[in-house]
Amino acid sequence: MTLLTVENLHTHFVSRSLDNEIRVARALNGVGFSLERGRILGLVGETGAGKSLTALSIMGLLKPPARIVEGRIDFEGRDLAAMPPDELNRLRGDRLALIVQNPRASLDPLARIGEQLARVHRAHRKADVATAHRRAVEMLAAVGLPDPERRARSWPHELSGGMAQRVLIAMALINEPQLVIADEPTTGLDVTVQAQILDLIQGMVRARGLGAIVITHDLGVVAHYCDDIAVMYAGSIVEQGATRDVLADPRHPYTINLVDSTPERLKIGSGRVFGGAPPNLFALPEGCHYRLRCPRATGACAAPPPWVAGVGGRLTRCHHLEPR
């Protein structure tokens, strides 16, 4: 069952330059995907591709000068993009939740862990302090923190990065959301802890039948934990499909490049990596945004590329592909 459908999402940064010209950075250019319940979608791409911005747009956490100028975000039958801020604020932390990076910096240093969890619970549920606290301890136990009663009384500075990330996961899940977005949830954690955290997120999503979006740079993470993958470049999705299919046989030149540039592939020496700077969002090339870096670019690429269907519902946005 479809939980979230994003259609043609455009998010722009509109600002004025010093000589009072209006400048538009087109950060998201028609992002579209859908997410089924119980599935994990990996959102990958280079820095500045718009992964986090997609998450913020869905959550309604954009700050001026960024704003959604076009598009629909259909979540449980309602359009988040057109929802009044107050109403959306009631959904945040309740029906949809965010897990962020920098877990230790993301906890209020002046409140005990249990109090912070209870705070989020009570913001969305009519619960008295004692009930909310019990619920907080329950959640701390559910994310695998030993001695949750004692942990609930800890201060954030007493936690390790991995523990703090578990606390954030507990906080995200305390109101049983339907959609969880994890924005680089393991950046800055030890490798062994990374795996534990991702196992935890995956386990929670499977057990509760949630939909999840995991934003990452790490194709390894996507390969292990995500059912589907969407590859972003310059604010658009260029290729999406089942993780297994896309990583085994990338079709879009950018995806091919991305997969070839993973350390494992570089070691084997397969493929060639085409570098190049991320595109200027103030002046994106017409047509295919990747054409200035693309080894296969031709004159045809100046027109907007079509979606080309592949095996197993795979979609790739390129002029040079035949449908399979």
Q: Which two tokens stand for residue 39?
A: 């599935």
Least Cβ distance, residue 271 to other proteins (angstroms): 37
Residue 176 sits at the vertex; the CA angle it makes with 221 and 61, to the nearest 5 degrees, is 70
Least Cβ distance, residue 28 to other proteins (angstroms): 19
Q: Which is nearer to other proteins, 59 or 219 (CB)?
A: 59
Q: Which is nearer to other proteins, 94 or 239 (CB)?
A: 94
- Residue 315 in contact with residue 250, Cβ under 8 Å? no
Least Cβ distance, residue 109 to other proteins (angstroms): 6
Q: Which is nearer to other proteins, 61 or 207 (CB)?
A: 61
- Residue 72 in contact with residue 22, Cβ under 8 Å? no
Tell me the sheet residues that pair with 308.
Answer: 316
Least Cβ distance, residue 85 to other proteins (angstroms): 10
Least Cβ distance, residue 9 to other proteins (angstroms): 19
Q: Which is nearer to other proteins, 178 or 316 (CB)?
A: 178
Q: Which is nearer to other proteins, 105 or 311 (CB)?
A: 105
Least Cβ distance, residue 125 to other proteins (angstroms): 11
Q: Which is nearer to other proteins, 108 or 138 (CB)?
A: 108
DSSP helix/strand/coil, 155: coil
- Residue 156 in contact with residue 113, Cβ under 8 Å? yes
In whole angstroms, give the CA distance from residue 9 to residue 79. Answer: 12
Per CB under 8 A, residues contacting other proteins are 59, 61, 89-94, 97-98, 100, 102, 105-111, 119-120, 123-124, 155, 157, 168, 171-172
Helix/strand/coil (H/E/C) assignment for every residue in 37-81: CCCEEEEECCCCCCHHHHHHHHHCCCCCCEEEEEEEEEECCEEHH
